[in-house]
Amino acid sequence: MTKKEIDLEVLRHSTSHVMAHAVQELFPGVKLGIGPAIENGFYYDFDLPEQLTPEDLPKIEEKMREIIKKEHKFERVEMDKKKAIELFEERGEKYKVELLHEIEDQKVSLYKSGNFVDLCRGPHIEHTGHIKALKLLSIAGAYWHGIETNPMMQRIYGTVFPSQKELDEYVKNIEEAKKRDHRRLGKELDLFSIHEEAGSGFVYYHPKGAVLRGVIEDFLKQENAKRGYESVVIPHIAKIDLWNTSGHTNYYRENMYFMKIDEQDYVVKPMNCPGHILIFKRKTRSYRDLPIRYFELGTVYRYEKSGVLHGLLRVRGFTQDDAHIFCREDQLEEEILQIIDFITYVMKVFGFEFKVNLSTRPEKFAGTPENWERATAILEKSLMDRGLPFEVDPGAGVFYGPKIDIKLKDCLGREWQGPTVQVDFNLPQRFDLTYVGEDGKEKTPVMVHRAILGSLERFIGALIENYGGAFPLWLSPTQVVVMPIADRHGPYAQQVAEELRQNGFRVETDLRREKIGAKIRDAQMQKAPYMLIIGDKEEQGKLVAVRHRTKGDLGTKALAEFQAELRKEIDSRA
């Protein structure tokens, strides 16, 4: 963290205290939860006797400004834990008392500002007067400690910046993000839906959404084939024995779905790797066979709490562009470098910049520390060889190995979890994988887990928001809308549309008895890249009048010329 980031975090945490102070004054009887700084802002959880509404936010903001003007100092007070418990019991702050019981230290710190007191490690700004540009953003529900059986708290989100200019820019980005929300655009553009009656967290792709997904899948299949990956397909369920061997039932159980078939325990697959391992293990392998690269668009199922489900970004059933590479240890570094190059190429194609994290060994892990260190060192060296700056994310590796995590950056500067590369010495040992080495002896291969996009659902959600639904031509579910000016132009319009379809373009025909302006407006709302307007002049000359969604009128052209331009734009993936 830079000094600027630390200062901003301290400012935000201090502002969360001021918000809690304001809520305490406005709503007697409130019980305080926690109020941390978070990325881009802060929140505080409250147990309130009444339900907050958006109309309450301006009142709370006004009270906060009153407190800020008084320039209350933030004073640190250290006391025995026992006395702190007595203090918060007297105040009726049961959640603070619970937090205190969870603290092992016998000395704790509190912070006072005015007549407000909170349990807190700090640090804080000098006084409330340093808070200049703040805004409360929203209200949400949150279970205490994130546990569904605990009481539901009311969480107020806010943000604060050192200057009004920075705040205004952030608020502008929030408004732009609302316009780009993939859930709203998914409905408006008829791409996908999620049906509560069928189960939360499971995505239904509509025809247009299936086209978008299909284009991405076709691209991935082609690019993987170019790089020597072989496609495989595995079942969606397997006996629990497989997951016992892999370690998932020990390390990942809370995220798994279980079922019984013929009195035997089965698991709905949360990951594809054990299935790919079985395919590798089916016959004897030679050192000459390696590396072996298996690729699958594999759908997996993981339990996520209902409170964290979020459109396409957090679901319970999703598809990964998953691949597993079985290689000799002397091949490992070259394989990692090739994957990094693959990721870099694909991110450029889709128009994303990205940042890189190196995620290291968690507390709960499989395998030996020595193997973890070897794997981490190879990942680190590969990133440095490619000149990619990265940050170390301590303890964020998966249970079987360290990983490179790629965060996609969209046009608003937001980050999305995307590609991942994981080095695994552990699973090949657990499954007793071997190959015959050059010396004729059995050796254990190394396994690399790799996803270039990550979850297709999350990637498509990010893609929708990055482009605001206005996809480049090669990705657009509908590339051209053909619209006759009058009924008499309908047959020629249909002829034009059919020729485009036969040549592989995705076309719709708008034959409604609407004015041409309304048809153009509707096509614009649906983010269609091109519109072809057909009138008397076009029909007589066997031409098309071309209109682009952002460039407007492009003039009249022969259909063959227009198709050649379309093909060139699609092939360039511009």
Choosing from 324, 361, 450, 527, the catalytic residue is 324
Would you call 310 a catalytic residue per the annotation?
A: no
Residue 448's alpha-carbon distances to 280, 334, 336, 388, in angstroms, are: 13, 12, 8, 20
List 269, 302, 316, 519, catalytic entry: 302
Q: Got the DSSP string for 96-130? A: HHHHHHH---SEEEEEEETTEEEE------SBGGG
The b/e string for 364-387 (b: 16+ C-beta within 10 A; e otherwise) is: ebbbeeebbebbbebbbebbeeee
| CA atoms of 90 and 93, how far apart (whole Å) | 8
Among the listed residues 154, 182, 208, 273, the single catalytic one is 273
Q: Catalytic pick from 403, 458, 489, 547?
A: 403
Contact indicator for 10, 124 with CB cutoff of 8 Å = yes
Name 31's Cβ contacts closer than 8 Å, sequence gap at least 6.
46, 47, 48, 92, 93, 94, 95
Q: Which residues are 238's β-sheet partners?
A: 267
Catalytic one among 31, 96, 269, 449?
Answer: 449
195 is catalytic: no
Half-sphere exposure of 209 (CA within 13 A, CB side): 23
Q: Are 459 and 209 in contact (CB under 8 A)?
A: no
* Pair 297, 447: CB distance under 8 Å: no
What phi-psi label fits residue 87: left (phi over 0), alpha (psi between -120 and 50 degrees) or beta?
alpha
The active-site residue, picked from 322, 405, 410, 510, is: 322
- In the set 320, 422, 526, 563, the catalytic residue is 320
Exposure string over 408-419, b if 16+ CB within 10 A, otherwise e: bbbeeebebbbb
Active site annotation includes 132: no
- Residue 571's contacts (CB-CB under 8 Å, 6 or more residues apart) are none
Q: Is 324 an annotated catalytic residue? A: yes
The question of whether 273 is a catalytic residue gets the answer yes
Q: How far does CA 246 lie from the centroid of its chain?
A: 26
AA identity, residue 512: R
Q: Among all residues, which ones are annotated catalytic?
A: 273, 302, 320, 322, 324, 403, 449
